Chains A and B, each alone.
Chain A
Amino acid sequence: MTALLDIEHVSKRFGGLRAVNDVSFSVKEGEVLFIVGPNGAGKTTLFNLITGFLPPDQGVIRFAGKSLAGSAPHIAARLGIGRTFQIVKPLRNLTVLENVMLGAFLRTRSTTEAAAQARKVLAFLQMEAVSDLPAHGLPLATLKRLEIARSLATRPKLILLDEVVAGLPTAEAMALAELLLRLPEWGVSAVAGVEHVMQVVMRVAQRVVVLDRGTLIAEGIPADVVRRPEVIEAYLGAKYKQVTG
């Protein structure tokens, strides 16, 4: 398998804060990779760097072999990088269907075709019941799914999921995890950033990358990574140390 996304020695500073510090890793085609780290570890910054919302200070980001340096966000989307926002950003006064159609419009000019595509995605995410409701006033769990639906409708090769399960009750999070497992049906690789929902990580992740204050401290398969003492110390805390150890 070839690398779809290559991140090489990427750094980003905000003033004195090293938000992302010399991070390197890659994502293979068809892979589901999780980035684990608490708030402030640099996950969202990393996603913003990959999708062109922020330019990196140093390092190279390559997507499908091409450098993304300095590309605007819409270019990254057109190349096939979809993303969701940690703080959900629905198009509030449009319906759920219209929200998803806006993703689909990336690949078609026709309104009917976009609606058909959007309905397919909504069916996959089990959101048909709400498709004609306006996006404002929907519960968080639905809005998190809407983020995924809109992004999936752009038919990305890679989807960056920023804290899609954060703030959800366990049952909701696990239901979403089952859907994430089916992402390969859409021919899409995924990078998901999560803070601490380890059940989802263990269920879905093929590989895990651990960030600590902007630095990558561990990488590997989930079962191994969560047993490493430095990871347990830094992220999962004493509680997990007892459970796993």
Chain B
Amino acid sequence: MTRKRALIAAACFVLCLLVPLVVDQDYQLNVLFRITLFAGLGLAWNLVGGYAGQLSLGHAAFFGIGAYGLVLFNEKLGLPIWLAFVLGVVAAVGAALLIGRVAFRLRGPYFALSTIAFAEVLRISAKNLTSITGGDVGVQAPALFDTHPSQWFYVSAVLLTALAFTVTALIVRSRFGYWLQAIREDEDTAMACGIDAASTKLRVLAISAALTAIGGGLYASQFFFIVPDQVVGLEISNEIAIIAMLGGAGTLTGPLVGAVLLETATELFKSWFQEAHLLIYGVLIVLVVLFLPEGIVGTVARVWRRRKAGS
């Protein structure tokens, strides 16, 4: 990324931060919070699923640990709220290292299935450990912001997205970023280049899990009340993955485009179709995989390059 592009990106994020000065209705800010939060989550997933090519369908595990971490460290252990928030993120990194150690032994669809399995184990545990998590009855999440919560949650989501974007931009330009892409393209070749594929994948999963858990903590506190199906469910895992794939897995701006499109569409579909929006999700996945395997940004970039090469 050139200096000019970095400045443009920085300007965009500053503009996003200024939105609460204009928009002051809670509903609108909450929708914007959701779009921005999932943009950040999509970016986080993109490091593992896009650049490193490891199709995780279990990111709800890290999201859920971030959410329940905040709640449990604060409510059950009585730790200060922001410390609880940080500990939730640390716990997610720990979980990523454990899950990765096992799941990365598998390649391709077997890896994807194992990530689903890990997230499901966590979800089912959370449902049944009622004395700790409240089970399906749910548990109240502490408030991170006392005044102007809608504004502050939106601003935090923008900061998370900016962080995930910056981390991705720095990684992509670095040797580590090239290593990730080499692993995606051909793991044997990567190893023949001296790349320790196993530890590289673990490291990127840890980074991705940390960012995802930050999102989980923000989401829990903003929602005020959480149940396992909502924060550790397959739906969260899928949503995060689809956003990145729709926008363009392995592209820097893809998850941003994907989040804006998908979250706006979900918001509309929810009022029009109620639960049928899940059906639309399914159809969307099939269409993207069949016709837009590079996602929107990936496809546009390819056509653009071809035009440029042709002229």
Contact = CB atoms under 8 A, between A and B. Distances in A.
A98 B178 contact: yes
B190 interface: yes
A94 B194 contact: no
A53 to B, nearest CB: 7
Contacts, number: 76
Contacts of A193: none
A93 interface: yes
Given A101-B178, A109-B175, A77 B191 contact: yes
Interface string A153-170: 010000000000000000
A96 to B, nearest CB: 13
A73 interface: yes
A74 interface: yes
B38 interface: no
B191 A154 contact: no
A102 B190 contact: yes
Given A74-B196, A77-B194, A85 B182 contact: no
A145 to B, nearest CB: 15
A103 interface: yes
Given A85-B188, A111-B174, A111-B175, A91 B182 contact: yes
A11 interface: no
16 contacts: A73-B191, A74-B195, A77-B193, A85-B188, A85-B192, A89-B189, A90-B186, A90-B189, A92-B186, A93-B181, A94-B181, A94-B182, A102-B178, A105-B179, A108-B175, A110-B175
Interface of A: 51, 53, 72-74, 77-78, 82-83, 85, 89-94, 98, 101-103, 105-106, 108-111, 114, 150-151, 154
Given A74-B191, A93-B181, 18 more contacts: A72-B191, A73-B188, A74-B194, A77-B194, A82-B192, A83-B192, A85-B189, A89-B188, A90-B186, A91-B181, A92-B185, A94-B181, A98-B178, A98-B181, A105-B175, A108-B175, A111-B174, A154-B194
